[in-house]
């Protein structure tokens, strides 16, 4: 039914309701009256008809989708009828010198009753038709348990009922709210609390579980997933409310549980207003723009309405892909420019900086693969050290406002070439900050889930191939964060920068790599008997444990929730580069020089309790 046809139908139905209300009230008050038409009835009918349609338009009654009618629609009906009756009473007073209150009061009640009943009767008929349609389809649908009976769970239930072809048939709710226990919501029982999930799955023959609690913390989510996976393989989740662009729940938003959902820590939230104040209308340059972190930086920076974004990268395909993605989304809102260039090309870096004169530079370009850099230390030096030096000095010369170096926790007491080169890169930008008007800062974070070269894609590939999943050591631990969170931290650091800081994230507790592997096996629908785990031993340059603070990096200060500034020891750039330059042509000597320059202790095992004490004291 098109809009005009629908409007005409509603006007006709409402006109009939108005007339029925008036004449029924007249009959009830004057059952033995011999006349059905007089000046009072005609005047009242015409006035009420006109005002009803006028206020229905004003209050949007004809634009409501009554299939989804709720209390809000009932309030709208009340406002329309009340306003129309008041105007009609005024007209009666003017025309006849008095208000026929009994007749108007009865008309008011009948008007609301009939109008509301017709609207909600239409909703009821729609629901019956949906149920009939569901009965035909649902024998093939999976019996589904919804975890969470709050607003999100209720909206999801409505969506599933209205879309029987989704293949999911809701049979029960679970919720920890004691006030809804043993009650029914939308025709479904609240069968227990979340701790009863195993019993409820068995009692209702559940084949599929959907978690519909957007505010659920990571630890609780992990517990639910662990219990659910013991009974059913099909488990899905709704994203957080912040990730639902429409602000409403849709069955299209249901997705499989990912390893990111099991990350045992809560993400850092941004100071949106503070960042927007600095980014809006500015020119931003991102190096390594085609990489995992660089491309996510570009995506999130664009949310703050910069004037221009310069996408600088060495790989033409990856830079092209992110350019096309951003241009299709932001179209004429932001100007995008791509520069295919190598950060080792010093002249090119200076040329680009002076051409665009960006306000912010986010330097994400780097070689990050630990084993590969162990075999090619000179390439790590050229890209991570001299490349950073080129971009940073070009930023200084072009009077860039803020330069943010994307660093790593592997730069703390490094045992690898990659970590050592990133620590030297930190030294370079810290020393530049002392002599430059540009604010130079570095941001350290741990391993990024799902990034190129990370362990998660490797594990997924190994699982897809039937195993085994290879883990270096059962005791090896790492700090983990998601790609979007890493990008948020880098952007937040740029907004907080005063110059010279090394920003560090309190990343919670380290995660054992073997536990990560086990969770991925479980999420993939297998058991550890089906997909074996093999231990291969540590590779060159790897640490058993990662650190977030060097013991010499004293007095960490919290500047934002979960973000700290570590005060690093001072090194002179010239001395460091001179010693590296003397060893550049000998791989073994170069590797030894890098580690001696940057690793300040013999033991590679950090004292987690001491680190925790330092971070807690910084609160």
**What pLDDT, in 10s, does the model give residues 130-154?**
555 555 545 567 788 888 887 777 7
CA distance 464 to 515: 18
Q: Which residue has the tokens 């971070």?
A: 615
**What pLDDT, in 10s, does the model give residues 513-562?**
887 788 777 776 677 777 888 888 776 656 666 555 555 554 456 666 66
Is pLDDT at 314 greater than 70 in this prediction?
yes
Element containing residue 503 per DSSP (H, E): strand 502-505
Is pLDDT at 233 greater than 80 in this prediction?
no
Mean pLDDT estimate for the chain: 78
The neighbour count for residue 334, using CB atoms within 10 Å, is 17
CA distance 187 to 157: 10
Check residue 127 and give its pLDDT.
61
How is the beta sheet containing 360-363 ordered, strand by strand? Answer: 335-340, 308-313, 283-287, 360-363, 402-406, 439-444, 502-505, 563-567, 554-560
CA distance 305 to 534: 48
Is pLDDT at 426 greater than 70 in this prediction?
yes
Higher-scoring residue by pLDDT: 590, 614: 590
**Helices (DSSP H) in 303-343: which residue ranges?**
316-330
Three-state SS for 609?
Answer: helix
Higher-scoring residue by pLDDT: 511, 298: 298
Element containing residue 444 per DSSP (H, E): strand 439-444
Check residue 12 and give its pLDDT.
86
CA distance 321 to 446: 26
Element containing residue 85 per DSSP (H, E): helix 71-96
Task: Give 128: exposed, middle or buried? Use CB within 10 Å, 0-12, 13-18, 19+.
Answer: exposed
Nearest to 451 by CA among 292, 289, 238: 292
Check residue 20 and give its pLDDT.
86
Check residue 585 and give its pLDDT.
74
**What secondary structure letter does DSSP report for 12?**
H
Nearest to 36 by CA among 23, 20, 45: 23
Structure tokens at 346: 């010093």
Check residue 587 and give its pLDDT.
78
**What pLDDT, in 10s, does the model give residues 446-499?**
766 655 556 777 787 888 788 888 888 887 777 677 777 778 888 888 888 888
Nearest to 225 by CA among 188, 265, 258, 177: 258
CA distance 562 to 506: 5
Residue 614: band (very low, low, confident or very high) from pLDDT cuts 50, 70, 90: very low
**What pLDDT, in 10s, does the model give residues 17-53?**
888 888 888 778 877 665 555 788 888 888 888 998 8
77-81, 112-116, 482-486: segment of lowest average pLDDT? 482-486
Q: What residues have CB less than 8 Å from 502, skipping those under 6 apart?
A: 407, 426, 430, 441, 442, 443, 444, 553, 565, 566, 567, 568
Give the percent of the chain with pLDDT over 70.
75
Is pLDDT at 440 greater than 90 in this prediction?
yes
What share of residues in the chain are helix, strand, coil (percent, to 5)?
Answer: 55, 15, 30
Higher-scoring residue by pLDDT: 236, 379: 379
Structure tokens at 245: 């662009």
Give the percent of the chain with pLDDT over 90.
19
CA distance 1 to 286: 51
pTM over 0.75: no
Check residue 244 and give its pLDDT.
42
Check residue 247 and give its pLDDT.
40
Check residue 270 and give its pLDDT.
67
Domains and CATH numbers, the chain: 3-133 (no CATH), 141-257 (3.40.50.720), 278-450+479-507+549-618 (3.40.50.720)
What residues are paired with 310 via a beta bridge? 285, 337
Is pLDDT at 16 greater than 80 in this prediction?
yes
In the predicted model, what is the mean pLDDT of residues 590-619?
A: 54
In the predicted model, what is the mean pLDDT of residues 244-262?
A: 52
Q: Which of 410, 522, 543, 562 is catalytic?
A: 410
Is pLDDT at 374 greater than 90 in this prediction?
no
133 is catalytic: no
CA distance 100 to 26: 11
Half-sphere exposure in the Cβ direction for 241 (13 Å, CA)? 10
According to DSSP, the β-strands at 234-237 and 208-211 are parallel
Is pLDDT at 420 greater than 60 in this prediction?
yes
507 alpha carbon, distance to own chain's centre = 18
Residue 248: band (very low, low, confident or very high) from pLDDT cuts 50, 70, 90: very low
């Amino acid at each position: 039914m098109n809009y005009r046809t629908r409007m005409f139908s509603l006007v006709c139905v409402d006109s009939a309701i108005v007339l029925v209300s008036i004449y029924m009230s007249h009959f009830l008050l004057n059952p033995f009256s011999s006349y059905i038409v007089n000046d009072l009835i005609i005047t009242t009918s015409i006035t009420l008809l006109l005002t009803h349609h006028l206020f229905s338009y004003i209050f949007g009654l004809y634009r409501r989708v009554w299939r989804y009618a709720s209390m809000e629609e009932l309030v709208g009906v009340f406002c329309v009828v009340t306003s129309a009756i008041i105007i009609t009473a005024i007209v009666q007073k003017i025309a006849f010198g008095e208000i026929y209150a009994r007749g108007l009061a009865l008309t008011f009640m009948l008007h609301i009753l009939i109008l509301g009943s017709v609207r909600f009767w239409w909703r009821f008929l729609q629901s019956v038709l949906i149920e009939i349609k569901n009965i035909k389809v649902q024998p093939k649908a999976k019996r589904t348990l919804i975890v969470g009976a709050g607003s999100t769970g209720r909206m999801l239930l409505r969506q599933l009922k209205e879309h029987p072809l989704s293949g999911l048939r809701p049979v029960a709710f679970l919720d920890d709210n004691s006030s809804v226990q043993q009650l029914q919501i939308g025709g479904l029982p609240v069968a227990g609390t979340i701790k009863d999930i195993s019993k409820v799955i068995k009692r209702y023959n559940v084949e599929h579980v959907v978690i519909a609690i957007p505010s659920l913390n990571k630890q609780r989510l992990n517990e639910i997933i662990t219990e659910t996976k013991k009974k059913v393989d099909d488990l899905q989740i709704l994203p957080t409310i912040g990730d639902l662009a429409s602000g409403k729940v849709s069955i299209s938003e249901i997705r499989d549980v990912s390893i990111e959902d099991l990350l045992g820590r809560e993400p850092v939230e941004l100071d949106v207003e503070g960042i927007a104040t600095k980014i809006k209308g500015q020119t931003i340059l991102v190096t390594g723009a085609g990489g995992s972190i660089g491309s996510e930086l570009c995506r999130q920076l664009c949310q703050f309405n910069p004037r221009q974004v310069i996408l600088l990268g060495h790989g033409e395909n990856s830079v092209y892909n992110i350019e096309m993605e951003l241009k299709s989304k932001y179209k004429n809102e932001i100007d995008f420019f791509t520069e295919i260039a190598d950060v080792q090309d010093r002249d090119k870096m200076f040329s680009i900086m002076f051409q665009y004169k960006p306000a912010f530079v986010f330097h994400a370009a780097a070689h990050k693969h630990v084993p590969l850099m162990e075999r090619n230390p000179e390439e790590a030096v050229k890209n991570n050290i001299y490349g950073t030096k080129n971009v940073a000095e070009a930023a200084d010369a072009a009077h860039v406002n803020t330069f943010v170096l994307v660093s790593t926790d592997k730069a703390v007491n490094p045992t690898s070439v990659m970590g050592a080169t990133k620590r030297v890169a930190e030294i370079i930008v810290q020393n530049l900050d002392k002599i430059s008007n540009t604010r130079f800062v570095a941001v350290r974070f741990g391993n990024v889930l799902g990034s190129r070269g990370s362990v998660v894609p490797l594990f997924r590939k190994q699982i897809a191939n039937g195993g085994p999943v290879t883990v270096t050591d059962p005791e090896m631990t790492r700090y983990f964060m998601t790609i979007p969170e890493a990008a948020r931290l880098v952007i937040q650091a740029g907004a907080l920068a005063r110059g010279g800081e090394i920003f560090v994230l309190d990343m919670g507790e380290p995660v054992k790599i073997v536990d990560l592997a086990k969770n991925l096996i479980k999420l993939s629908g297998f058991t550890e008997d089906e997909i074996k785990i093999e231990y291969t031993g540590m590779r060159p340059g790897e640490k058993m444990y990662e650190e977030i603070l060097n013991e010499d990096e004293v007095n960490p200060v919290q500047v934002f929730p979960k973000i700290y500034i570590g005060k690093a020891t001072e090194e002179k750039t010239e001395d460091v580069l001179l010693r590296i330059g003397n060893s550049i042509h000998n791989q073994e000597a170069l590797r030894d020089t890098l580690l001696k320059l940057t690793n300040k202790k013999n033991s590679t095992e950090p004292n987690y309790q001491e680190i925790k004490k330092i971070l807690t004291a910084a609160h």
